[in-house]
Amino acid sequence: MNILVINAGSSSLKYQLLNPDSGELLAKGLCERIGIDGKFTYKPQIEGKAKQDAVDVAMPTHSEAIQTVLNALVDPVNGVIGSMKEIDAVGHRVVHGGEAFSKSVLITDEVMKTIEECIPLAPLHNPANLTGIRACQDVMPGVPMVAVFDTAFHQTMPAKAYMYALPYEYYEEDKVRRYGFHGTSHKYVAGRAAAMLGKDPSELKLISCHLGNGSSVTAIDGGKSVDTSMGFTPLAGVLMGTRAGDLDAGILQYLMKKHNLTIDQMLDVLNKKSGVQGVSGVSSDFRDLEAAGHEGITRAALAVDMFNYGVKKLIGSYAAAMGGVDAIIFTAGVGENSISQRMAIASGLEFMGVKMDAAANNCRGKETVISAADSKVKVLLIPTNEELMIAMDTAAIVSGK
């Protein structure tokens, strides 16, 4: 079975063609500048097939972008499949499913309507995701399509975890609550953790740390998300590359008055100029910060310290929330690659049964147990693979599993 995975943005579209059973990636790439001029990148993963790197292809709409992807995939010379018939289904990443979707679903007219109703919750992302779906329906009529939501995995959170302490009508009428994001990633690594530990997910209490440019930490009890650090929007939780994370809402009024800022300008600061970028004044990239820290730039070292401390506190609070933890997972750019940050986050947690193995931790980007053999709580490095998770969900739905 081959699944085409689509992640559509307003002027871009990322794609992968994969086999969800074997995990084999056949091709991946990107359409950019859709509606402007059009740049196409194609990376076949089969030996001897030529790639294309940001070549000019006219893409007035997402439909031409999808058609360009299909043409490349079935190209007699550099394609990876014989014909479009070899694409069994399409899995679409959709950012926000609100309270309507607690799992991935086959796309119907009704589902499209409900995704539209969630637009106010993700005004930048859901319209682009819908455009991607419509373009695929246009170019690939009859091929089953599945929507996989970033928020769905977290719909199992209990009310005490997802409610904000605001007047209740803001929840009832305006849908203001914690939704959580990165759900596809947290679900994927939780599944891999259970496989690595040889246990059923229902037996495990896990804390998944998705640490990248955007970061979130999730408590997963018995295979279900029970709390997560991102909130109504992906601005909440631990500080991130350029996002502030949790902060005292009173700061907004103080700064807006003092600097005569509009709410949009304030949000721009919180989303794009804060986080480790804002604190360090150096970069939003953790590699740059590590290097700058070594050169004695104290604000860079402080930003990394604040980040590590924030993640450590979330691990402690989620262990308390679940009444224990069997394994802590590190994933995404920082979690998979930063040896020093994993060590800084997980050290000092010996009181709760976490003992790192420095030699095992000295690795990057492959599934590894990085805790000591006698550590009560296992610490796992697991590379995330959101596209594979989307393909797996899509395959399960279209084959009726």
Q: Which residues are catalytic?
A: 150
Instruction: Map the footprint of ligand AMP across residues 88-127, applying CB under 6 A.
Output: none
Angstrom distance (rounded) from CA 310 to CA 151: 22
The two tokens of residue 328 are 């802590």
> What is the β-pairing status of strands 378-381 and 368-369?
antiparallel
Question: Smallest distance, Å, CB 347 to ligand AMP?
Answer: 17
Q: Toward ligand AMP, which CB reaches closer, 85 or 287?
A: 287
DSSP classification of residue 231: -
- The sign one gets for the Cα dihedral 227, 233, 236, 242 is positive
The count of other CB atoms within 10 Å of the CB of residue 166 is 11
Joined tokens for residue 146? 């599945």
Phi, psi of 181 (to 5 degrees): -135, -170
Q: Which stretch binds ligand AMP (CB under 6 A): 3-11, 102-110, 281-289, 310-318?
A: 281-289
Binding to ligand AMP by residue 259, rule CB under 6 A? Answer: no
Q: Which is nearer to ligand AMP, 183 or 333 (CB)?
A: 333
**What are 132's two structure tokens?**
């991607």
Is the Cβ of residue 331 or residue 375 nearer to ligand AMP in the bound state?
A: 331
Name the segment binding ligand AMP (CB under 6 A); options: 117-125, 321-329, 330-338, 368-376: 330-338
User: Binders of ligand AMP among 332-351, rule CB under 6 A?
Assistant: 332-334, 337-338
Which range, of 68-76, 101-109, 195-203, 283-291, touches ligand AMP by CB under 6 A?
283-291
Q: Which residues contact 311 (CB under 8 A, 6 or more apart)?
A: 209, 211, 215, 217, 238, 345
DSSP state string for 9-30: -SS-EEEEEE-TTT--EEEEEE
In the shown chain, the binding pattern of residues 172 to 211 toward ligand AMP, with x for contact by CB under 6 A and - for none, equals ----------------------------------------
Question: How many positions of this chain bind ligand AMP (CB under 6 A)?
Answer: 12
Q: Nearest residue to ligand AMP, using CB?
A: 333
Residue 283: φ, ψ to 5°: -170, 160
The answer to whether 181 touches 234, Cβ cutoff 8 Å, is yes
DSSP states along 183-211: HHHHHHHHHHHHHHHT--GGG-EEEEEEE
User: What single string gives the DSSP state of each residue in 307-346?
Assistant: HHHHHHHHHHHHHHHHT--SEEEEEHHHHHH-HHHHHHHH
Other Cβ atoms less than 10 A from the Cβ of 304: the count is 22
**Looking at 259, 273, 287, 294, which residue binds ligand AMP (CB under 6 A)?**
287
User: Which CB atom, from 290 or from 357, has the smaller least distance to ligand AMP?
Assistant: 290
Check if the beta carbon of residue 152 is closer than 8 Å to that of residue 389: no
- One-letter amino acid for residue 273 of the chain: K
Nearer to ligand AMP, 66 or 282 (CB): 282
Q: Are strands 327-331 and 378-381 parallel, antiparallel or unpaired?
A: parallel
Stretch that binds ligand AMP, among 114-122, 123-131, 310-318, 331-339 (CB under 6 A): 331-339
The three-state secondary structure class of 220 is strand
Contact region for ligand AMP (CB under 6 A) — 4-12, 158-166, 284-292, 353-361? 284-292
CB of 273 to ligand AMP, least distance (A): 16
When binding is defined by CB under 6 A, the residue of 19, 67, 213, 271 that contacts ligand AMP is 213
Instruction: Give phi and psi for 336, each to the nearest 5.
Output: -85, -25
Question: Binder to ligand AMP among 285, 305, 357, 367 (CB under 6 A)?
Answer: 285
Based on CB atoms, which residue is closest to ligand AMP, 84 or 363? 363
**Closer to ligand AMP by Cβ: residue 287 or 294:** 287
Considering only residues 40, 286, 318, 330, which one is a binding residue for ligand AMP as defined by CB under 6 A? Answer: 286
The amino acid present at 53, given as its one-letter code, is: D
CB 248, min distance to ligand AMP, A: 26
Binding ligand AMP (rule: CB under 6 A), the pick from 9, 237, 241, 383 is 241
Shortest Å, Cβ 364 to ligand AMP: 6
> Nearer Cβ to ligand AMP, position 88 or 290?
290
Report the interface residues with ligand AMP, using CB under 6 A. 212-213, 241, 285-287, 290, 332-334, 337-338
